[in-house]
Amino acid sequence: MPPTLQRSAHAVKSTLPWLYMVTPSIASTDVLVDTVEKALRGGVNIVQLRNKIFGADSPELKAMAVALRELTRSHNVPLIINDHVALALDVGADGAHIGQEDTAVEAAQALIGTTPSFLLGVTVRDAIQAQAACKAGADYLGVGPVYASSTKQNANNGLVIGLDELASTVAMASQFHVPVVAIGGIHVDRVEACMSTKAAGVAVVAALSSSSDVQGAAAALADKVRRHHTR
């Protein structure tokens, strides 16, 4: 079994830069696993299971989480579960990711306790939210939407933050040595701009799941991320 990640700044940074895949909300576990496996072969090095079809207590979501846990473990890649901290702990995922409207960071920390192999990611959209999340103990931040996104319904309604806000948020998080992943409307031609803010990586959904060549798309994204990562 590959070594587990340790919950520390050193361990988080040792896996950077990140090409972070957020899974599409689909009902078929088989299709999901096939898509993620192609993405992993292409260079994705962290996966978040995000599914808005099934509830936290549904057997379908747990089955997806277990299947992805086995797949990502075989690639020595961390698996993060969106929203559902208890489910992430139950299936032995490497972490959970929460938004501003989800479980509070403090409540999530209470569930996590002293679990050493568990990472907590938090979505923020500006430096103020980043400061609060870092002080509360976030291990990494997802910042966005940087661009208009087809997978976030509110991203096109005046909530796009842009590159300047991304850079300000990265700067704030860096004071706490917390890495930032840019998210929202990112495709291969936008990676360099995002990485120029000293972000630790980019998170993508449609850029992979909507591609007719998932592995090829992942490889192109991974190459851009690596070439433009600022240590």
CATH number at residue 98: 3.20.20.70
Which range among 48-62, 104-118, 193-207 shows the weakest confidence by mean pLDDT?
A: 104-118
Note whether residue 108 is domain-resident.
yes
Q: What pairs with residue 18 in β-bridges?
A: 201
Tens digit of each residue's pLDDT (9 = 90 or more) over 52-76: 999 989 999 999 999 999 999 999 9
pTM over 0.85: yes
Q: Which helix (H) or strand (E) holds 135?
A: helix 127-136
Residue 198: name the closest of 175, 224, 161, 229 by CA.
229
Note whether residue 100 is domain-resident.
yes
Longest dimension (CA), the chain: 46
Residue 119: name the closest of 181, 66, 202 by CA.
181
Average pLDDT of the segment spanning 85-110:
90
Confidence band, pLDDT 50/70/90 cuts, at residue 18: very high
Query: Structurally, how many domains does the chain consist of?
Result: 1
Work out the angle at residue 180's Cα, subtended by the Cα atoms of residues 56 and 231, and round it to the nearest 5 degrees: 140
Q: Give CA–CA dist 98/92, Å, rounded.
A: 17
Determine the structural domain holding residue 220 and report its residue range.
Answer: 9-225
